[in-house]
Amino acid sequence: MQEKILEVINEYENETRKCCYKINYIDSSTTILDDKIGGLPYLPIGEEYPKDKNNNPMALLIQINLNKLELNDYPKGILEVFITTDINEIYGNMELPSDCYTFRLFQEGLEYQTNLPLIDLNNFIFNRPIKLDLSKQVVFKPYNPSDNKAMNLLLNLLEDKFNVILDYPMQMEEKLNIKYYDLMNKLDEDYKVTSNIGGYPFFINEVDYDYDDKTECIMSIESAISLGLCIGPNAGDFYVLIPKEDLKNGDFSNALLKFQF
């Protein structure tokens, strides 16, 4: 049984394998041009600083130079996500309103502003800038039983490998002597949750329904308590979803910023 489980897991991981960039948090000072969480953004001269619906300057949530990355179908430029500093808006909504955040993509190498608003980060999700270092890695899709695409892939792999028909996952034990929960637990053990650019989102509970059409996860960022990054009262995470074609075209107007607390 154990051998069968390992064979199926290897097939699943191979089918969903994907190149992305692991994010490493660096306890160091930041510059305007660094990849970072928080801090002063790269804002070319002539560009207006983003403001929220109350006309207050937004905080830079994250800045990533996509020119450094080798990811298929990603645009070039410096990508920035800005977010309201109103913590009640962030924590008080199951779905963060779209007027609470915005995306910017700027060409690298332009003359930029240095006289930028100083944002009060007291009681915010981070209290100081955090420098980011990116390293290439390969990941597979985390298995979530509420993800119909992942479940169907798993069933198809089992059917092909063992020449059986499976209508639902619990039939594994009856027809293959494989316990479904043993298989899920092993997949959970293999998947290492890390902050990344271009990988997969890790859903704490059920799969986000927006993931059906917004199939690309630009980033998935987890808390780093020791560095002052605490996403929500329970040290959760945030991720960004976008339709594949929009990503290819560098159009972030339909991208969604999501928090999990």
Which parts of the chain have pLDDT scores under 70? Answer: 1-2, 94, 190, 192-193
- Which ranges of 65-214 would DSSP assign to H, the alpha helix? 87-91, 148-162, 171-176, 180-190
Determine the Cα angle at 137 with ends 136 and 138, to 5°: 140
**Number of separate domains in the chain:** 1
Question: So what's the pLDDT on residue 176?
Answer: 85
Closest CA to 9 of 154, 122, 148: 154
Distance, CA of 68 to CA of 134 (rounded, Å): 9
Give residue 202's domain range: 2-260
Question: So what's the pLDDT on residue 1?
Answer: 53
47's tokens: 């560009």
Q: CB of 238 within 8 A of CB of 221?
A: yes
Paired residues of 82 in beta bridges = 60, 102
pTM of the model: 0.92
Around Cβ 49, how many Cβ atoms within 10 Å? 13
Question: So what's the pLDDT on residue 261?
Answer: 80
Q: How far is CA 1 from CA 7, 30, 53, in A?
A: 10, 51, 57
Distance of CA 166 to the CA centre of its chain: 32
Q: CB of 184 within 8 A of CB of 154?
A: no
Question: So what's the pLDDT on residue 194?
Answer: 79
Q: How far is CA 66 from CA 107, 109, 145, 226, in A?
A: 10, 13, 32, 27
Question: So what's the pLDDT on residue 240?
Answer: 96
- Which ranges of the chain would DSSP assign to H, the alpha helix? 2-16, 87-91, 148-162, 171-176, 180-190, 244-248
Distance, CA of 54 to CA of 51 (rounded, Å): 8
201's tokens: 């989102």
CATH number of domain containing 27:
2.30.320.10
